[in-house]
Amino acid sequence: MGVPKHQEPIVIPDVKDEWFIPKQRNKDDAEAVVRPSLSYWQDAWKRLVKNKLAMLGFVFLIGLIVMAFIGPIISPHDVTKQTLSNQNLPPSGNHWFGTDDMGRDVFTRTWYGARISLFVGFMAALIDFVIGIVYGGIAGYKGGKTDNIMMRIVEILYGLPYLLVVILLMVVMGPGLLTIIVALTVTGWIGMARIVRGQVLQIKNYEFILASKTFGTKTAKIIRKNLLPNTMGPIIVQMTLTVPSAIFAEAFLSFLGLGIQAPYASWGVMANDGLSTILSGYWWRLFFPALFISLTMFSFNVLGDGLQDSLDPKLRR
């Protein structure tokens, strides 16, 4: 069968042997690692840095902590000094955030209140961290009857009215900083315990845990060395959400008059004092404590969301 006239025959060019000479590679090139090796935490930090909103919250919180320490120091006014001739002065070069009805500098009291609010938040998160890890780790690892009993106790505590517990503690212990911390941690560790228990129930049947059991490793060491390191991602995220919750709870209790008492100052106390004068035009007394409460809550929440994404092993590349 001949070639049609409208089609020309395909001409195959001469193939030269030097076109197909393989590239020479030595042993070192074959074993070279092109992508740098990153640990779990290095990879998480790298992804967290790419989250601009989370890093903005992180930078704000660092600045807030620094100002809580140096703010009352750099201020020329004492936190408890009362000057009745300077009552309710608006923000100015002398009083950057204005003054209150006792003539006290609001700028100094704002950063002094940041110390107390941050202290309450971090202490509540630390206590919840310790109790929640121990309780949830034991319940999840033991399982069975032990888990059932421990979780029934958790459900009973979870059903207690929070405000009722605080009022009872105020009656027994009296109002103060210690009472607030105890009130926040009586039932505050329940959320942490549930998260740890759920993670431990999932991980305890992995091969490396079963291997540790086979070699006779003690339960405490298995929990400390194998289980907890693999649950730190959700735990850290939960802590970043516990701190703002405790700060807001302290502000709420102080706003109701059940928290920090005079002469100490916290953002809740300052907001409570400023609310009664907002109609008189003294807006700065409520504005600044409310502003820092809002920014702190926002920063912790966006940081927690960023950590949740960066610590998720499913998103690791």
At 234-281, the pLDDT tens digits run: 888 888 888 888 888 888 887 777 777 666 778 888 888 888 777 788
pLDDT at position 60, please?
94
CB 85 within 8 A of CB 103: yes
Phi-psi region of 83 (alpha: psi -120 to 50; beta: other; left: phi over 0): beta
Amino acid 199: pLDDT: 85
Residue labelled with tokens 């890093």:
55
SS3 (DSSP) at 217: coil
Q: What is the pLDDT of residue 18?
A: 59
0.85 exceeded by pTM:
no
Give residue 33's pLDDT: 53
Q: Are 72 and 64 in contact, with CB atoms under 8 Å apart?
A: no
pLDDT computed for residue 58 by the predictor:
92
Q: What is the pLDDT of residue 20?
A: 60
Q: Report d(CA 66, CA 295) in Å as an integer.
A: 15
Q: What is the pLDDT of residues 109-136, one digit of tens each?
A: 899 889 888 888 889 889 988 898 889 8
Reported for 180-184, long-range contacts at CB under 8 A and 24+ positions apart, including other chains, are 180/120, 180/250, 180/253, 180/259, 180/260, 181/120, 181/123, 181/124, 181/127, 183/253, 184/120, 184/124, 184/246, 184/249, 184/250
Closest CA to 181 of 168, 166, 191, 171: 166
Query: Which segments in the chain show pLDDT lower than 70?
Result: 1-40, 261-263, 312-317
Closest CA to 262 of 64, 79, 23, 127: 79
Quick one: pLDDT at residue 29? 56
What pLDDT is attached to residue 15?
57
CA geometry: angle 270, 271, 273, nearest 5 deg: 65
CB atoms within 10 A of CB 88: 17
Res 121: pLDDT: 87
Are 240 and 303 contacting, i.e. CB atoms less than 8 angstroms apart?
Answer: yes
pLDDT of the residue at 6? 56
pLDDT reported for residue 37? 63
For residue 85, the tally of other CB atoms under 10 A from its CB is 6
